[in-house]
Amino acid sequence: MIALYGKHPSKGDFIGGGLPVQAGLEGWLDSALAEARHGLDAAWESVWAAARPLRFWLGPSVWGEACAGVLGPSADKVGRRYPLLIAGFGPDCPPCPVIDPAQDWHGAVEAKLVEMLAGETAELNGFSIACPVALPAGPPEFWAARPGADAKALLEDIALTDHHRACHNRSYWWVAGDDFGHSQVWAGEGLPSGHVLAWFLRGYAENA
């Protein structure tokens, strides 16, 4: 499932909806945006207008289902600022980005989002993209054995599965670098604060 949610310049209210994680998303955005707006103070409007799209991936334990996508600064047709985002769930959610850091999926989603923000179209119109297959969840703990005395090799054997399990409570947020700005990333348990969101919005200037 690929879904759309937020505000678009051609519409007077929220568009999209029905996201599996919508309640958690709305609660976090309301809190984080308020904190970011307070921290940025007089710079809020100019920073919001110039901010780059923000890519994300959330483990299944954050909001109850793994999801990934891109959100960009937007506003409705009367100027009320709020993000517009495209997100994928289930088989349309790519693997954790520290396990598979390829940017093809997020790059295609970001291109679609930028296209929508620049035009009048406020619908996905059948947009789809091939998604890498994520590992199955697996048990929260596991045992392993390996012939021989090489403990290093045994630990290397379990690394991928262990990293996959460790991602479940974490989220990853990043912007892709370009000719005008640095790449930035935040990774942590749960969700970033509004202070971190403000750091992304204004671009790299200092550590979050």
Q: Rounded CA gap, 173 and 24, in Å?
A: 16
pLDDT at 205: 59
- The residues spanned by each domain of the chain are 2-136+168-202
Average pLDDT, the chain: 89
Closest CA to 67 of 34, 10, 23: 23
pLDDT of residue 9: 92
> Can you tell me the distance from the alpha carbon of 129 to that of 109, in angstroms, rounded to the nearest whole number?
8
What number is the average pLDDT over the span 48-62?
95
Q: Which CATH architecture has domain 2-136+168-202?
A: 3-Layer(aba) Sandwich (3.40)
pTM of the model: 0.88
| CA 134 to mean position of chain CA atoms | 16
Whole-number Å distance between alpha carbons of 28 and 13: 19
CA-CA distance, 77 to 72, in Å (whole number)? 16
